[in-house]
Structure 1
Amino acid sequence: MFDVAVSTPSKMEAAPMQRARGEARISFKQMGSQTRLDELYQRGSAKFRLPKVYDNIPVAVLINTAGGVTGGDEYSYSARVAAGGHAILTSQAAERAYRRSAGNGTIITRLTAEANAFVEWLPQETILFNASALHRSMTVDLKGNARFLGIESIVLGRTAMGERIDTVSFRDKWRIHRDGKLVFADDARLEGNTKDILKGSATTSGGLAFATLIDCDPNAETRLDRARSALEGCGPGTSVRAAASAWNGVLTARFVAADGRALRDALMSFLETYRSAPLPRVWHC
């Protein structure tokens, strides 16, 4: 006779969900009058692609092959532009933060520009879906008279699809250093019911899309008139409100819009006017 003991769990334990991981690093060097790719590394679902361009400024396009970010996902992006170089970093499409089951999605970005270099960070918007959780940070290190021009825009759901955003967890941290000294710091946090948080005049007065542009350059203050001129189409009576200010080598512009479409149209008009150059072609796809 044999005694056989069988253990039967009262509840089936759910297997942990697979998480997305991605890391992409890119650097550029200067060869004569042209900026060229120097190094490229990519792992997981983070990719850089370099489409053909018809000038001397390379464009690196970020692609998240996972299709979005949800709780527990982790991404790391970094780019370096050598002395005298100029490179543009953008994204293939809008990033999407989806409903989470647990944890936070994390995106960490690090950018470095050597002396007399210019790095432009021009990703398309990030869309936050209901019950999403996205925590991200950007660190920029500038050397000497290097310039950084960057924008980040957030859209709370797609109004054209009738999406309702009741709650999100969103945190965004910017830190910009020049020669090791902190020159700009900015933190944004949305935690909980977005309608309650954003309904006041001190936030967005009910607007569902907002953006921040930073131009960090020793001569940034000389571009303030150009920035304000480019914002003439925004203001009372329109669906987008915006303002710009400059101080101590940093120009800042803030945008608040009723929805993502209005914000995108305003940003495209502003960026092409302020930069005196067309946006990367992926913005028009």
Structure 2
Amino acid sequence: MDFAGSSERTTAERLASQRVSARGALAVARRHGRTRLDRLFQEGAAKIRMPRSDGEPLEAILINTAGGMTGGDRLAWEIDAGADTSVMVTTQASEKVYRAASGQAEMAIRLSAEENGRLAWLPQETILFDRAAFSRRLDVELAAGAQALIAEATVFGRGAMGERVERGIFRDRWHVVQAGRLVHAEAFAAGPDFHTTLGKRAVLAGAAAMATVLLVAPDTDAWLDKVRDIVGERGGASAWSVGGTGKLLARLYDDDGYSLRKRLVPLLGLLNGRADMPKCWSL
């Protein structure tokens, strides 16, 4: 994807740039009565750190040392939760996707949990800048009896900095399977005219921040009233019985990332149970 005409490009933009190609992988297993690190792989700008903890779940922090992404960058994360384990994954900071001179930034996320494993994928927000081009793919495979809490929040420009996102490309695809059966799939696409797309009432009605939260676990309908109280009028939530388990899906939107966080943090804290929120999240 190329948003800048040749006459608008600087000399630096016309020069070939080094692109990020990074991958981080983490696997946990249950040993001696608790969740412990089983395998760790880090390549390129993808780093994983685990704060010391005496209890469950094991917490992992993902770090992109490149400081953000732009056109042509590739970043992949893989998280595997073994049987009877509990792992919570977040990011050190918000992932920033900058203007793309050419191509698009791509992120691939693969999550899996074995029988009775519990996995929480709770990255901080992705912030898209004007003329960013970004594609994200999330694939989740759960065994029977496994549970997953998955959240992704996206912010279109930093309102506090006076930024306005007019043009760009954003593609987001989720595919969640449990015990070989599809339990959730969705695809979101916006651009190249962000202003028009996001301004539609059926999309964000002019808001600049949104989040999707998915819980796959038994008896999700028991959480529905509390979830709707937190989400309020700027979003919605529903719960179903699907594939032998339960599914709760919530969507939130707001004027900026900070306002969105004020509802997203208590929502994730509620659904994450005794684990609460990752240590590096803060308002």
On whether the aligned pair clears a TM of 0.5, the verdict is yes
Q: Does 1:251 align with 2:244?
A: no
Contact 2:139 2:174 (8 Å CA) reproduced = yes
Separation of aligned partners in 2, 1:272 and 1:121? 13
1:137 Cα shift?
A: 0.3
Q: Secondary structure at the match of 1:192?
A: coil
Q: Give the structure 2 partner of residue 45 of structure 1.
A: 45
Q: Does 1:242 align with 2:239?
A: no
Matched to 2:264, the amino acid is: L
1:226 Cα shift?
A: 3.2
Q: Secondary structure at the match of 1:167?
A: coil
1:276 Cα shift?
A: 3.6
1:55 Cα shift?
A: 1.8
Q: Give the structure 2 partner of residue 155 of structure 1.
A: 155
Which has the larger displacement, 47-56 or 82-91?
47-56
Separation of aligned partners in 2, 1:14 and 1:96? 22
Q: Unpaired runs of 5+ in structure 2?
A: 1-12
Percent identity between the two aligned chains:
37
Per-residue CA distance 1:183-226 (angstroms, 9 max, x = gap): 11011111112121122211111110000000012332332233
Runs of 4+ in 1 over 6 A off after TM superposition: none
Per-residue CA distance 1:116-170 (angstroms, 9 max, x = gap): 1100000000000000011010000000110110100000000000011110100
Separation of aligned partners in 1, 2:271 and 2:114? 23
Contact 2:215 2:271 (8 Å CA) reproduced = no
Q: Secondary structure at the match of 2:197?
A: helix
Q: Give the structure 2 partner of residue 29 of structure 1.
A: 29
Separation of aligned partners in 2, 1:56 and 1:163? 40
Matched to 1:245, the amino acid is: S
Contact 2:230 2:263 (8 Å CA) reproduced = no
Q: Give the structure 2 partner of residue 106 of structure 1.
A: 106
Separation of aligned partners in 2, 1:219 and 1:145? 12
Matched to 2:120, the amino acid is: E
Q: Secondary structure at the match of 1:25?
A: strand
The counterpart of 1:270, out of the listed 248, 252, 267, is: 267
Q: Give the structure 1 partner of residue 213 of structure 2.
A: 213
Contact 1:230 1:273 (8 Å CA) reproduced = no
Q: Which structure has the larger Rg?
A: 1
**Aligned in 2, Cα 1:260/1:160: closer, same or farther, shift over 3 Å?**
same
1:182 Cα shift?
A: 1.2
Aligned residues: 266
Q: Give the structure 2 partner of residue 281 of structure 1.
A: 279
Separation of aligned partners in 2, 1:279 and 1:180? 30
Contact 1:226 1:274 (8 Å CA) reproduced = no
Separation of aligned partners in 1, 2:141 and 2:16? 37
Matched to 2:239, the amino acid is: A
1:15 Cα shift?
A: 4.1
Separation of aligned partners in 2, 1:162 and 1:172? 26
Q: Give the structure 2 partner of residue 166 of structure 1.
A: 166
Contact 1:46 1:63 (8 Å CA) reproduced = yes
Separation of aligned partners in 2, 1:275 and 1:19? 36
1:14 Cα shift?
A: 5.0
Separation of aligned partners in 2, 1:206 and 1:76? 31
Which has the larger displacement, 24-33 or 268-277?
268-277
Matched to 1:86, the amino acid is: S
Q: How big is the alpha-carbon RMSD for the aligned residues of Structure 1 and Structure 2?
A: 1.5
**Aligned in 2, Cα 1:167/1:110: closer, same or farther, shift over 3 Å?**
same
